[in-house]
Amino acid sequence: MKFAALLSFAFAGVSCAHPTASTSSFYPVKTAGLNETVYDELETYKPKVMIVNMFDYEAEPFLEGFDLVHNVTIPGLSPIYPEVHCNRNYSICEVITGEGEINAASTMTALALNPLFDLADTYFLVAGIAGISPRQGTIGDVTFARFAVQILEYEVDARQMPSNWTTGYFSYGTTNSTQYPAQWYGTEIFEVNEALRDRALKLAQKTDLFNGTAGNAEFRALYDYAPANRTPKAIACDTLTADTYWFGSDFDEAFSNYTDLITNGTATYCTTQQEDNATLEALMRAAQYGLVDFSRIVIMRSASDFTYADYYDNETTYFFTEVSQGGSYVAVQNLLVAGKAFIEDVVSDWDTYKNGTVYAPDNYLGDVFGSLEETTYREWGTDSE
């Protein structure tokens, strides 16, 4: 029996075959909930690209830009984003996870397990906006990550930390922020396909990114150093995941040091967001059973705001709550520009992408536990992990 049919039993609770029919056929699936929705499609959808957005503002340019006219409702997606959107021939689809790690993990798990979608050969493009360190980029930049690092640590109130500490964050199983983690939850680091990342980056670098408004240019000019004060580019650097929407130069420095520490200097932190490690954990678990291919993931984040400003001195909260950085619009514009180049390349040259050999990874893939049973040398971690 097909795996999709097996999932029909587990997911829906009702899946009855005609007694004279082959048990390998795909039959309508009736769900117990979701207003008694009946799936009467006779085949699964096999998109070449699945766009992953986190909220509607990120999704709107893709919905319009790719004419995603089909809406497929499946159980387990976000209550406010319950549909997968697809173009006319279902070669390109898009899902909105909802913001934050729990929403991202829940949505991506539901999508990966749903019998209506065969995602084994699908390329996933995580496309969202993010904060960016002025040390690494500027508003409107589009970043492509090899590593997603989760801020998953102990924390002591900074007002009560030892006087010689520079941050209240320190890794599990340690006694200060300079020590390498002695305990792992497993979601702290994910590494994705560097060759595919480089391909997406190269395509994006050939596009004309928007510079944004005059206000964006004026805001960049408040920084007296590059790259913060330059015009937008497509760049390679890595992303941090945290449920806390943090800001400030002290955190920026502390989490940059943390990234350097736990990746043995391999990753370069530049953006901060709230979902990517959760998305990758869900996809990795699905990949363990062949439901998705973990080597077919691109993490793309465009910069909507800076993580801190030098020129407000100690007025950190004022900078965050009162100052309009105005970068969200140019960030979503550039998400589409850069993302479209990759999406169209995959769809138009499917013969190259289909087997996954042309942009096959030379680097390690997955988490610190080796869950994907990778044999490629891992440049981060220790031999005991």
Residues 9 and 113 in one domain: no
In tens, the pLDDT along 255-285 reads: 999 999 999 999 999 999 999 999 999 999 9
117 and 20, same structural domain? no
What is the Cα–Cα distance from 73 to 39, expressed in whole angstroms?
10
Three-state SS at 113: helix
Residue 128: exposure state from Cβ atoms within 10 A (0-12, 13-18, ≥19): buried
**Cα(169)–Cα(241) distance, rounded to whole angstroms?**
15
Q: Is 241 helix (H, G, I), strand (E, B) or coil?
A: strand
Q: Which two tokens stand for residue 271?
A: 């953006």
Please check whether residue 21 is in contact with residue 295, taking contact to mean a CB–CB distance below 8 angstroms.
no
Q: Does the structure show a pLDDT above 80 at 3?
A: no
**Residue/partner pairs of 62-67 with CB below 8 Å, 24 or more apart:** 62/94, 62/127, 62/335, 62/336, 62/339, 63/94, 65/336, 65/340, 66/92, 66/94, 66/340, 66/343
Same domain, 109 and 31: no
**What's the structural domain count of the chain?**
2
Predicted confidence at residue 259, as pLDDT, reads 97
Is residue 227 domain-resident? yes
Q: Is residue 366 part of a domain?
A: no
pTM of the model: 0.88
Residue 62, domain member (yes or no): yes
Inside any domain, residue 27: yes
- Band of pLDDT at residue 234, cut at 50, 70 and 90: very high
- Within this chain, do residues 30 and 94 fall inside the same structural domain, yes or no? no
Q: What is the pLDDT of residues 126-147, one digit of tens each?
A: 999 999 999 999 999 999 999 9
Q: What are phi and psi of 208, to 5 degrees?
A: -100, 100
Q: Is 382 among the domain residues?
A: no
Residues 130 and 241 in one domain: yes
Residue 134 sits in the same domain as residue 203: yes
CATH of the domain at 317: 3.40.50.1580
pLDDT band at 35 (very low <50, low <70, confident <90, very high): very low
Q: Is residue 385 part of a domain?
A: no
Kindly state whether residue 269 falls inside one of the protein's structural domains: yes
Q: Is the pLDDT of residue 384 over 60?
A: no
- Per the prediction, the chain carries an average pLDDT of 88
Q: Is residue 229 located within the same domain as residue 247?
A: yes
Comparing C-alpha atoms, which of 4, 3, 79 is closest to residue 42? 4
Residue 15: which domain range? 1-35
Mean pLDDT along residues 174-200: 96
My answer on whether 24 and 64 are in the same domain is: no
User: How many helices (H) and strands (E) in the chain?
Assistant: 10, 16
Asked if residue 84 and residue 31 are part of one domain, the reply reads: no
pLDDT bracket for residue 110 (50, 70, 90): very high
Q: How confident is the model at residue 309 (pLDDT cuts 50, 70, 90)?
A: confident
